């Protein structure tokens, strides 16, 4: 649904006409409330908000399933490493130093590929 000029309402006007705005939103409109000329908040139907939250949860679940699928593919292809070594490598990367015992070089074989 597109937003028209009549759906953008200054905060002071929204305060004065909240009941009318709520009826319009319940009928399917979405309102953008502005403050000092900038977008401030949106007014949408509660059922639509619930729907948006369900979509967000579904997307998160799909991303988790995709990550699990890629992880299983990594295991099947032998792209694994020892958990302690992996954690040490991550901590070293975050600290900006090479992991202990690598002298600045990390072997490419046996490491998990970067995702994302």
CATH top-level class of 5-44: alpha beta
- pLDDT on residue 8: 96
In the chain, where the domains are located: 5-44, 48-93
Q: Are 21 and 31 in contact (CB under 8 A)?
A: yes
Distance CA 97, CA 111 (A): 18
- pLDDT on residue 23: 97
- pLDDT on residue 116: 47
pLDDT at 109 over 50: no
pLDDT digits (tens, 9 = 90+) for 24-40: 999 999 999 999 999 99
Please state, rounded to an integer, the average pLDDT across all residues of the chain. Answer: 88
């Amino acid at each position: 649904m597109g937003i028209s000029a009549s759906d953008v309402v200054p905060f002071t006007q929204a305060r004065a006409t909240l009941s009318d705005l709520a009826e319009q939103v319940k009928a399917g409109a979405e309102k953008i409330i502005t403050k000092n000329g900038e977008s401030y908040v949106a007014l949408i139907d509660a059922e639509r908000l619930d729907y948006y939250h369900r979509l967000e949860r579904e997307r998160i679940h799909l991303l988790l399933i995709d990550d699990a699928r890629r992880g299983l593919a990594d295991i099947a292809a032998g792209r694994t490493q020892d958990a302690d070594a992996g954690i040490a490598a991550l901590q070293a990367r975050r600290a900006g130093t090479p992991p202990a015992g690598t002298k600045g070089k990390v072997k490419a074989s046996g490491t998990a590929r970067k995702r994302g």
